[in-house]
Chain A
C-alpha cells in the first residue's frame, strides 16, 4: 500500500531563515509526489509535484522540493521563510497516476517574525 510520512508535527523557523518540511514515502513503483498547503479554514492549495525528470522541482510561492530516490524522501524547502508561509503543509503520494492520492498527516509550519 502506498503511504507517506511526515515525521514532524510542527516546524518553527525564524522569518528570513531557510525552511525544510520533511516527507518520506513508501516504495512501490514510480511514485507521483505532491505538496499541498492549507491555510486556516481553507481548502488545500497545490504547491508542486514530482512525476519524473529533474529531482529538484520548483513550485508556487518560492517553494521547491527535492526528490531523493535512495532516501525515498521529498522534502519541501524554501530559501527564506515569510510569516505568511505559516500554514499546514501536506505531502502526498500516488502510484501509477494521479488517482487516489494518499496524504501525510501534515506539518504545521510556524514562521516567527
Chain B
C-alpha cells in the first residue's frame, strides 16, 4: 500500500504564474487535508476535503487559492498568480473516516 503521494516534489514558478499541486491519498482513505509550512514555522491547516466536498476551508487564503478532491483522481491545490510569499512547503495528508492522518513528503514551491 503506497503512502500519500505528492507531486511534484519541487516546483518553481515565476511571479504571476499558476501552481498546481497534486496529492494522491492512501488507498482506502477518503479524507484529504492540506497544510502549509513556511520557513522556520510550523504547519498551518489550510483545507479539509472529502470526495467532491470541501468540509473546512477556514485556513485557505480568501483569494488565489483553491482546492478540490474530485470523484476520480488526485486532490489538487491550485494557487493562481503566485507571489513570493507563497513560497513554502505544502503538505497533503490523508486519513480514513476514523483514523490518524498520514502525510506525504510535501511539495516545495519556490516563487522567483
* B20 CB → nearest A CB, Å: 19
Which residues in chain A, 60-113, are within 8 Å of chain B measured between CB atoms? 90, 97-106
Q: Is B101 within 8 A of A105, CB to CB?
A: no
Task: Assess whether B69 is interfacial by the CB under 8 Å rule.
Answer: no
Select from chain A the residue with minimum beta-carbon distance to B95. A98
Task: Assess whether A44 is interfacial by the CB under 8 Å rule.
Answer: yes
Size class of A's contact patch?
Answer: 10 to 19
Bound: A43/B3 CA distance, A: 11
Size class of B's contact patch?
Answer: 20 to 34
Contact A98-B101, Cβ < 8 Å, known A43-B91, A103-B35: yes
Task: Assess whether B39 is interfacial by the CB under 8 Å rule.
Answer: no
Contact A104-B42, Cβ < 8 Å, known A43-B106, A44-B103, A99-B56: yes
In the complex, chain A residues whose CB is within 8 Å of the CB of B44: 103
Q: Is B100 within 8 A of A98, CB to CB?
A: yes
Bound: A35/B76 CA distance, A: 26
Task: Assess whether B104 is interfacial by the CB under 8 Å rule.
Answer: yes
